[in-house]
Amino acid sequence: MPWPTPRPDDPATVLRTEPRPHTVAPTVLKVVIAGGFGAGKTTAVGAVSEITPLSTEEYLTEASTGVDSLAGVEAKRTTTVAFDFGRLTLPDAPVPLELFLFGTPGQDRFVDLWYDLSRSAVGAVVLLDTRRLESSFTPVSFFEDIGLPFVVAINEFDGAHRYHPEQVRTALKLPARIPVVACDARNPNHVAGVLLTLVDHAVKTTPTINLQDA
């Protein structure tokens, strides 16, 4: 089925002011890569990103006022959170796509950021260092709670005791439908494979919607 072209009469796609040439930007898709301290998030983003991962800062207020306001700057409990950004273009996809990757720390004080990152995302990869299994409990239950498709990827560090994915599944109490895979976060083919696993999983969990316009 051909991809529908943007409808110029759709208010969401109308340019705000004078007409400009209709340059149609690639569609942006997002994937969140969450994991504990040192789990390999930046490495995984960098393995497939076309730019060196950027470290971006945002304010974080302990009271959940949301990240869209600087009002809490003077408040005592304002800190900043750094997260990774990487991107890759997929010009050979059936429709031009750009994939944004967001690498984010795994502590529960970052949930405001996770909500922002998860909005309209394809899904999430929970990157897991088997030496610190417990650091993935929070992201796993967050993505479960909000219903965002996610996969668990075991980053196999040298010298770390190798767990079988099924052992990890048991330890994290993950249902059978959640993919648990092993990878080397430094290897682009592995990280791309994890992304493919996530996309396959997301397809299975996306409700089929009738296209009215089709």
The residues that touch ligand GTP, with contacts defined as CB under 6 A, are: 35, 37-43, 105, 155-158, 184-186
Of 34, 42, 118, 148, which one interacts with Mg ion (CB under 5 A)? 42
89: CB partners within 8 A, 6+ apart: 26, 50, 96, 97, 98, 99
Does 61 sit near Mg ion (CB under 5 A)?
A: no
Query: In the range 29-48, which residues lie near another protein by CB under 8 A?
Result: 29-30, 48
Instruction: Please provide residue 161's backbone torsions phi and psi, each rounded to the nearest 5 degrees.
Output: -60, 130
Min dist CB 138 to another protein, Å, is: 20
Q: Which stretch binds another protein (CB under 8 A): 128-136, 137-145, 155-163, 193-201?
A: 193-201
Min dist CB 154 to another protein, Å, is: 11
The strand order across the sheet containing 54-61 reads 54-61, 78-90, 97-105, 27-35, 123-128, 150-155, 180-183
Of 176, 194, 197, give the one whose Cα is nearest residue 186: 194
Binding partner of residue 59 among Mg ion, ligand GTP, another protein, none, CB cut-off 5 to 8 Å per kind:
another protein
Looking up tokens 């010009």 gives: 91
Q: How far apart (Å, rounded) are the C-alpha atoms in residues 150 and 140?
A: 8
H/E segment holding residue 86 = strand 78-90
Does 63 sit near another protein (CB under 8 A)?
A: no
Does 43 sit near Mg ion (CB under 5 A)?
A: no
Does 18 sit near another protein (CB under 8 A)?
A: yes
Closest to Mg ion by CB, 86 or 179:
86
Which residue ranges make up the site for Mg ion (CB under 5 A)?
Answer: 41-42
